Chains A and B, each alone.
Chain A
Amino acid sequence: MTVTAPERETVVAPATAPSYGMSERTRKERRLGWKLTAPAVILMLAVTGYPMVNALYLSLFSYRLTDPSGRKFVGLANYGVVLRDSLWWQDVVTTVIITVVTVAIELVIGFIFAMVMNKIIFGRRTVRTAILLPYGIITVVSAFAWKYAFALDSGFVSNWLGWLVGKNYNWFGHRGSALLVICLEEIWKTTPFISLLLLAGLSQVPEVLQEAAKVDGATFMQRLWKVTIPNMKAAIMVAVLFRALDAWRIFESIFIMTAGAQKTESLSFLTYRQSITRVALGIGSAVSVLLFVTMVIIAAIFLKGFKVDLGTVKGERR
């Protein structure tokens, strides 16, 4: 089911083909292609393109809603204000911690889950159903579940872990423990997705190679490091890329669990606060643009630095 068969059809379009040699049929096909994709393109751009350009434009002005007439062009000064603010950097650190910790742990747990699902003999259906539940559940619901599990008044976790931290430990009262709970929630909710991606990658590793390594007397760990992982590198990188970009946007769970208290504010939460107060429009827009820029940088690092080729993985080029 998940084995990528080499794509056979004519995907490599002669995009630069001179148009004079085009038959009526080709021209018709082109026009139909554009017509069919136009609604999707327009919808995707309407909600992202214009607002983003608008934010970019506003970020160049000193503009307060309370004083609309005092609006004046300040160039990149707003970006200077944000980047010199220690709150921005504190939120960068928080977001980096959450992203690195959750993605690293999810990769390990997700891989174990994928191996279990790959080898499972009975109960396959039950496990698959179970693994989809955290993915499908609303993030807000999951955040409430974890919040109440650790909360001072309603939480059972402090009761269970009383021997470790004391029965009245205030998990949300300290930065470290609050971040821990936020990370746990994020890990619980998104590991299933990563494990499904890794399962798909795992099933693409040729069984012949595994058998050959076994015959040669390779141990389980040797096969894992020398055969399995190298052969599913593409799937791993894609999973990490998508999860990292997703974790970088973390918002709902922080909103529900701490509302940014105890220095747990993420970049998305900072952007949200700046956006809804709408008092300093210029600064708020600059924060929005900077959040966008950070994501572009991460994506660029993966695509250029780690050479994640989405083309091959997407089955576009093969």
Chain B
Amino acid sequence: MTGSATATRPKQRRQRSISVGGAILIVVYTMLPIAWILSLSLKSPGDLTNKKFLPSHWTLANYRTVFKTSLFTDALRNSIGISLIATVIGVVVATFAAYAIARLDFPGKRVILSLALAIAIFPQVALLGSLFSMWRAVKLYDTWPGLIIPYVSFTLPLSIWVLSAFFREIPWEMEQAAQVDGATAWQAFTKAIVPLAAPGVFTTAIIAFFAAWQDFAFAITLTSTNRARTVPAALAFFTGASQFQQPTTAIAAGAIVVTVPIIILVLVFQRRIVAGLTAGAVKG
């Protein structure tokens, strides 16, 4: 925009104020429910029914309750362990597949991509009954692997898309170039390709972790005890510190605890997550 002097200035100012207003609107839109649950988690149980947005007395008691409840602490351990393991396995498997899809010529490529699409839109709830019976038969019911396996399977489609989109953009000639310059095949791969592929793999891992961290349907159906129950399921079953107390504020505190890792990941990696999400869906 080369300023054609005074004529455009009011228009530019108007555009800027619309843009700023829009930005504020978006931030309020996204933050309001999060602020509400945060405020709720800082209310005392007696304060719950005041029907105000903010607490009249701020308290951290709910967080103490939550961290003293084994239902929640065990669930937190399970969530972190299961989601991380599922993410690592899923990303490794997806990296192999995406490399093949982006780089190699072989019949069946389209079939695999269509299969991934079908799995991505698959109604997971339709599997619960059968998986429940299967997992009981093979003793995977209420275990970590019992959740890790479905999480890997259901994060694979998105991971394969996002990764093959990233891999297509890598200038693979670099590998040959490095080899011509005297590097071994392994050196060429680690020095030329890995640094270029790492951001894509990392982005995929974040998105896969989000998906595993989110899951509710498998978690409530395929677990029954603190052994493998994850946080989303635990929150739904949480009944409070004692049976005489409303669990609302404690659930809110638990909700905030599991939201913190998400907020941190989003704050640090927002750019990569946006690139990954749009690559997977629009470009892939």
Contact = CB atoms under 8 A, between A and B. Distances in A.
Interface residues of B, number: 101
B128 A276 contact: yes
Contacts of B125: 249, 251, 268, 271-272, 275, 288, 291
A272 to B, nearest CB: 5
A15 B96 CA distance: 21
B188 interface: no
Interface stretch (B56-64, B66-74, B149-157, B175-183): B149-157
Interface in B219-235: 221, 231-232, 235
B168 A123 contact: no
A73 interface: no
A30 B252 contact: no
Given A128-B270, A140-B235, A292-B126, A37 B121 contact: no
A127 B126 contact: no
Interface string B87-121: 00000011011011100111111101101110101
A315 B129 contact: no
Contact of B132 (A115, A271, A278): A278
B259 A4 contact: no
Interface in B193-210: 210
Contacts of A145: 33-34, 36-37, 40, 255
Given A29-B105, A238-B281, A289-B126, A39 B23 contact: no
A159 B122 CA distance: 41
Given A140-B232, A197-B281, A272-B217, A249 B124 contact: yes
A154 B128 contact: no
Contacts of B5: none
A55 B53 contact: no
A52 interface: yes
Interface string A13-41: 11100000000001001111110110111
Contacts of B26: 113, 116-117, 127, 130-131
A138 to B, nearest CB: 5
B29 interface: yes
A51 interface: yes
A88 interface: no
Given A43-B93, A148-B248, A128 B129 contact: no
Contacts of B281: 197, 200, 238-239, 242
B30 A131 contact: yes
**B23, B122, B154: most-surrounded residue (chain A CB, <10 A):** B23
Contacts of B265: 136
B31 interface: yes
B80 interface: no
For chain A, the bracket of interface size reads: 35 or more
B251 interface: yes
Contacts of B51: 154-156, 158-159
Given A36-B99, A292-B126, A314-B284, A138 B49 contact: no
A37 B97 contact: yes
B274 to A, nearest CB: 6
B23 A123 contact: yes
A2 B153 CA distance: 28
A79 to B, nearest CB: 14
B226 to A, nearest CB: 17
Nearest to A234: B282
8 contacts: A2-B283, A47-B127, A48-B122, A52-B127, A141-B37, A153-B48, A276-B132, A285-B130
Closest 4 A/B residue pairs (Cβ): A33-B106, A116-B22, A51-B130, A275-B129
Interface of A: 1-2, 4, 7, 9-10, 13-15, 26, 29-34, 36-37, 39-41, 43-48, 50-52, 54-55, 58, 112-113, 115-117, 119-123, 125-142, 144-146, 148-149, 151, 153-156, 158-159, 188, 192-193, 196-197, 199-201, 235, 238-239, 242, 245, 248-249, 251-252, 255-256, 268, 271-272, 274-276, 278, 281, 284-285, 288-289, 291-292, 295, 299, 310, 313-316
Interface of B: 15-16, 19-20, 22-23, 25-27, 29-31, 33-34, 36-37, 40, 48-49, 51-53, 93-94, 96-97, 99-101, 104-110, 112-113, 115-117, 119, 121-134, 149-150, 152-154, 156-157, 160-161, 165, 168, 210, 213-214, 216-217, 221, 231-232, 235-236, 246, 248, 251-252, 255, 258-259, 262-263, 265-267, 270-271, 273-275, 277-279, 281-284
